[in-house]
Amino acid sequence: MSPRLPQDSSSSGYSLHCRSSDVASAPAGEELNTALKSLQKKLQHNEKMKGKFEKTVQHIKSQAEHTERQIKQQFEKLHQFLRDEEEATITALREEEEQKKQMMKEKLEEMNRHISALSHTIKDMEEMMKASDVCFLKEFPVSKERVQSSQPDPQMASGALIHVPRYLGNLPFRVWKKMQDIVQNTPVILDPNTANPFLVLSDDLTSVRCSGNKQPLPDNPERFDCYECVLGSEGFNSGTHCWDVEVKESQYWRLGVTTESNQRKGWDFFNTDVWSVSYDPYGLCLFSVFRVNQDLDHVRVNLDYDRGTVSFSDPVTNTHLHTFTHTFTHTLFPFFWCNRSSSLRILPVNSQ
């Protein structure tokens, strides 16, 4: 009988350890696989966000270039106005200069005629004085009358000089007052960073229209992504504020005020914190809102934050439409909604 070999305890232990490790590694592998998938999703999300960030950088560049062009155009209008005013003022000065010089030229010519006549009279009298005493005494009364009648008044005419204060007095203020005739003050300016991609804003940010084409704009947190809405650029947390909106070019519109914190993503915007009126001939609006029955040209919004009222009226006929009462505690922003190729325009103060 062959001798019995001793059992290799280390080999047996290793086998048992491997079997135990295999059993334990199963859930660990699942955890690793889950963690790996999570990291892969994060990577995909980060790569997607990177693409959005890169597009945002390009949009910022485009915004800056467009805004710079608009700034230059607006200042060029002001510069041209100032150049025109300068030219008109200098032209008026030169016209007065020519007028005053012409007046003095005529007076000089008249004075020269009087001097010439006076010189001839003096010469004649000197010759008479050299004649006989009888002739001198005989002609003296006539000569005396000629001398007295030929004496012109040598005084300077009143108003002969340039009226300098007419041109320099309060010159900057007078030009500024005139400038008010060519500039407009619009009480609400639209914020393009909040506009739905289907909305197109005017260069002066006072009007908006709904187009059928979606613009490639960044999906920033401030922007509406579902409703064709845009907010005003300035919020109100006190005082009274008023603005008129031209709605006659809009087939469907809704406007009013909302809180700064109201949700702009998704379809929850009109669920709360919106005070507005609408014109809805197609029955599109499913929310509880005051609807205007008649087709208006203008709508006036009056916000009295401290008293907690938002009133709407027709400024053309001075007809009250509706008033909301609420205790406001958050900053309120004007909002505008239009679709179906419609447009809205906020009117400047001087045309309200």
Q: Where are the domains of the chain?
A: 30-183, 199-347
- Residue type for 35, please? A
pLDDT recorded at residue 14: 46
Distance CA 55, CA 59 (A): 6
pLDDT recorded at residue 323: 96
What's the pLDDT band for 301 if we cut at 50, 70, 90? very high
**pLDDT tens track for 276-291:** 999 887 776 666 578 8
Average pLDDT score over residue span 81-109: 95
**pLDDT tens track for 147-173:** 566 555 667 778 899 999 999 999 999
pLDDT recorded at residue 168: 96
Who has greater pLDDT, 118 or 346?
A: 346
Q: What percent of the chain has pLDDT over 90?
A: 61
Average pLDDT score over residue span 30-47: 91
**pLDDT tens track for 187-212:** 999 999 999 999 999 999 999 999 98
Check pLDDT > 90 for residue 5. no
Check pLDDT > 70 for residue 352. no
Average pLDDT score over residue span 332-346: 92
Q: Are strands 207-210 and 319-325 parallel, antiparallel or unpaired?
A: unpaired
What's the pLDDT band for 2 if we cut at 50, 70, 90? very low
pLDDT recorded at residue 152: 57
Who has greater pLDDT, 288 or 295?
A: 295
**Residue whose entry in the numeric block shows the structure tokens 């590694």:** 25
Class for domain 199-347, per CATH?
A: mainly beta
pLDDT recorded at residue 40: 92
Distance CA 222, CA 230 (A): 10
What average pLDDT is seen over the chain? 86
Average pLDDT score over residue span 115-140: 73
Check pLDDT > 90 for residue 46. yes
Average pLDDT score over residue span 264-268: 94
pLDDT recorded at residue 314: 95
**pLDDT tens track for 223-254:** 999 999 999 999 999 999 999 999 998 888 99
Average pLDDT score over residue span 18-30: 62
What's the pLDDT band for 309 if we cut at 50, 70, 90? very high
Specify the pTM.
0.76
Longest dimension (CA), the chain: 200
Distance CA 199, CA 228 (A): 7
The pair of three-digit structure tokens given for residue 149, joined into one six-digit string: 């009648």
User: Are 322 and 309 spatial neighbours (Cβ–Cβ below 8 Å)?
Assistant: no
Three-state SS sequence of the chain: CCCCCCCCHHHHHHHHHHHHHHHHHHHHHHHHHHHHHHHHHHHHHHHHHHHHHHHHHHHHHHHHHHHHHHHHHHHHHHHHHHHHHHHHHHHHHHHHHHHHHHHHHHHHHHHHHHHHHHHHHHHHHHHHHHCCHHHHHHHHHHHHHHHHHCCCCCCCCCCCCCCCHHHHCCHHHHHHHHHCCCCCCCCCCECHHHCCCCEEECCCCCEEEECCCCCCCCCCCCCCCCCCEEEECCCECCCEEEEEEECCCCCCEEEEEEECCCCCCCCCHHHCCEEEEEECCCCCCCCCCEECCCCCCEEEEEEECCCCEEEEEECCCCEEEEEEECCCCCCEEEEEEECCCCEEEECCHHHC
Who has greater pLDDT, 307 or 25?
A: 307
Average pLDDT score over residue span 67-80: 95
Residue 150 φ/ψ, nearest 5 degrees: -95, 5
Distance CA 343, CA 208 (A): 5
By CB neighbour count within 10 A (0-12 exposed, 13-18 middle, 19+ buried), where does 136 fall? Answer: middle
The pair of three-digit structure tokens given for residue 130, joined into one six-digit string: 């050299």
